[in-house]
Amino acid sequence: MRIGFISTRLKGTDGVSLEVEKWANVLKRMGHEMFYCAGELGGYASGGTLIPKLHFADQSIQMLTREAFDEKSDGDTTRLVDDIYTYADELRAPLRNFIRANKLDLIVVQNALTIPMNLPLGVCLTGLIAELGINTIAHHHDFFWERQRYQTNRILDLLDTTFPAKLPSIQHITINSIAQHRLKARRGIDSIVIPNVYDFATPPLPVDDYSRDFRTSLGLSDEETFVLQPTRVIRRKSIELAIELVARLELPNARVFISHRADDEGLDYWLWLKREASVMGVQVQLIDHIIGEERSSMNGHKIYSLWDAYPHADLVTFPSSYEGFGNALLEGIYFQRLMLVNRYPVFVADIEPLGFEFITIDGFVDQNAIDLTRRLLHEPAEVERMVKKNYEIARDHFSLEVLQQKLHEVLANF
């Protein structure tokens, strides 16, 4: 089949972009041909169809988002909805052309019918799918009702008919069982759970000459503890818990290194984190300036990939209060790192019961977590046993082979 992926952004190391690449690789392995369309393209999607207004960062799209979800907004709701549909009409022709010019048999809408970061795009896709009757997979990563910032809004009727749309040609995919149950209860929509995955059949490559100096580039000696927080700086990541853990471990020259950017949802949380870290005597450092999608150089400085960082980490922290699934969790398992995990709901429902071994907390850093972390940092043999066990469990449940089997079942429904 000729399959087209449509999203707001297909570039970088965000969860959606990473998962699309895995799906695309598996579908190619199955003999299908891939096409891409988004408001920003990069890496595997570089040769795709670029429609800038599909991006949630487009100025006009952001204006509509602020009007719809800012609790201080008290404008004319009818005018707002009219504006959303006007912008949606502008997107219809280029999206229709993407589908027709590439003679697509199936489109895979990646989160654009799920979370209302681009309201006109969701409206446009709903109308276009109904118009063309094209077979569609709607891959849902995070619904609007799962995000605090979308709870206050002036367009609930629009949200409840578009995010996601309920159409006969759409097969819905959720990434965890909680989302599956809530989608059914809230909208009466059935879905298939396909969790996030990783290529566990291919073990990670050893540290090579390029990445051997990664710790040195951070100013870390061999004796210092490298604590990696491999996420964006947004509130639900609860990075303050990682900072508190490090503070209470009483490490010399205590530092937490954050891999991703700090401005995805504004800088207020980042500025607050820095103040909290200072009070606790911990240095919190962004290292997004030396980590890119792939190895490269910029202004004469070496740029590493995120995969270069993981093998050097003594401890990976993942204290999120909420995740749709948790790509960074799978990455930490893949690179066989000691991990601290906050028991977020999806972890409790779909991951923990499989028998993984992590340092866990329940919304706060308790003394047991401190004692266990301190002990394991000095017991490499025990850590080795834990991470190898975790790798084997993940290979059985979250591998590309599992994804291929599930996609085969989904495609058979069409």
Q: What domains does the chain contain, in order, with CATH numbers?
A: 2-197+400-412 (3.40.50.2000), 214-397 (3.40.50.2000)
Do you find a cis peptide bond into 168, omega within 30 degrees of 0?
Answer: no
Look at residue 298 in the predicted model and tell me its pLDDT: 86
Query: What residue ranges of the chain have pLDDT lower than 50?
Result: none
List Cβ neighbours of 403 (8 Å cut-off, separation of 6 or more). 22, 23, 26, 194, 197
Distance (Å, rounded) from C-alpha 88 to C-alpha 288?
A: 34
Q: How far apart are CA 345 and CA 290, in angstroms?
A: 32
Residue with tokens 């010399």: 252
Strand ranges (E), 16-169: 33-38, 49-50, 106-110, 135-140
* Amino acid 299: pLDDT: 84
Nearest by Cα to 51 from 3, 115, 101: 101
CB of 285 within 8 A of CB of 258? yes
Residue 165 near residue 129, CB atoms below 8 Å: yes
**pLDDT confidence of residue 367:** 97
Tell me what pLDDT residue 12 has.
79
pLDDT at 80: 94
- Torsions phi, psi for 229 (to 5 deg): -105, 100
Distance CA 202, CA 261 (A): 29
pTM of the predicted model over 0.85: yes
Question: Can you tell me which residue has the tokens 């009727």?
Answer: 157
Q: In degrees to the nearest 10, what's the CA dihedral of 103, 161, 187, 36?
A: 30
Sign of CA dihedral 93, 95, 96, 102: positive
The average confidence (pLDDT) of the chain is: 94
